[in-house]
């Protein structure tokens, strides 16, 4: 699939400098603007762990909201796993089309549940550079948000109020060739317990 040709982004440009995507107002900013928010604002005020936590939470909430809105327009198949996969694929395709990087689902198992996403050309990792620590916290939260929505709203008969957590196993900022996000079911006191309370 050629994403640039196949994905039609419903951008609408209005008078007065307003751009809308899926009826929501959006802005276009350079990558170094995102890096400066991460480094100069979040990290300097909250420390590394606090900044990572905020970025995960922003990613989680944005993705969960995306899944909720996208799910309203999806004609659900009897195969609920298929619906959840479609939501995840569309979310990552939209992220690619908006310039966040190339996303590949390496593993998606709703029975465990677990998802592994490989990211190449990550905007977060590229804009932050070689830091020695994982950079793609927004996507850890984003993938977790989509999986949480999918499990609770699409397959809720199997996973009511499931607790999941995510981590970045590999990151270009740490010197790896690509970034890899792993999100899976876990016990209490995890990322989604904090984010959803």
> Is 20:151 a contact under the CB 8 Å cutoff?
no
Arithmetic mean of pLDDT over the chain:
79
Q: What is the structure's pLDDT at 182? A: 96
Bridge partners, 120 (sequence order):
102
The pLDDT value recorded for residue 197 is 36
Strands in the chain per DSSP E: 11-14, 18-21, 24-26, 102-109, 114-120, 164-170, 179-185
In which band, very low, low, confident or very high, does the pLDDT at 177 lie, cut at 50, 70 and 90?
A: very high
Q: Does the pLDDT at position 163 exceed 90?
A: no
Domain ranges of the chain: 3-196
**CB within 8 Å of 94: residues ≥ 6 apart:** 7, 9, 66
Tell me the whole-structure pTM to 2 decimals: 0.78
Q: Does the pLDDT value for residue 3 go beyond 60? A: no
Report DSSP letters for 145-180, one per residue. HHHHHIIIIISTTT-TT--EEEEEEE-GGGT-SSEE
Query: Stretch 47-74: mean pLDDT, rounded?
Result: 86
Tell me the average pLDDT across 167-172: 96
Alpha carbon 5 to its chain centroid, in Å, reads 22
Q: Which two tokens stand for residue 77?
A: 């198949």
The 10s digit of each residue's pLDDT in 148-157 is: 888 777 655 4
Fold of the domain built from segment(s) 3-196: Muramoyl-pentapeptide Carboxypeptidase; domain 2 (3.30.1380)
Q: Provide the angle, in degrees to the nearest 10, between the axes of the packed helices 44-73 and 137-149.
A: 30
Distances (CA, A) of 18 to 24, 178, 194: 10, 35, 34
Q: Cβ neighbours of residue 160 under 8 Å, at least 6 residues apart?
A: 152
pLDDT at 1: 39
Place 9 in a pLDDT band, splitting at 50, 70 and 90: low
């Amino acid at each position: 699939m050629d994403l640039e040709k196949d994905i039609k982004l419903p951008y609408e440009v209005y008078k007065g400098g307003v751009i809308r995507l899926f009826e929501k107002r959006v802005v276009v900013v350079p990558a170094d603007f995102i890096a400066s928010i991460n480094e100069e604002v979040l990290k300097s005020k909250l420390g590394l762990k606090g900044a990572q936590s905020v970025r995960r939470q922003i990613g989680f909430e944005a993705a969960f909201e995306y899944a909720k809105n996208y799910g309203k327009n999806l004609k659900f198949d009897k195969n609920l796993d298929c619906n959840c996969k479609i939501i995840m694929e569309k979310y990552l395709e939209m992220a690619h089309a908006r310039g966040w990087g190339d996303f590949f689902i390496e593993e998606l198992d709703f029975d465990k549940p677990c998802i592994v996403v490989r990211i190449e050309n990550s905007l977060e990792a590229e804009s932050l550079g070689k830091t020695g620590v994982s950079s793609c916290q927004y996507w850890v939260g984003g993938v977790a948000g989509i999986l949480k929505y999918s499990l609770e709203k699409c397959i809720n008969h199997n996973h009511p109020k499931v607790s999941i957590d995510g981590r970045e196993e590999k990151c270009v900022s740490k010197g790896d060739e690509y970034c890899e996000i792993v999100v899976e079911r876990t016990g209490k006191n995890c990322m989604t317990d904090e984010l959803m309370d």
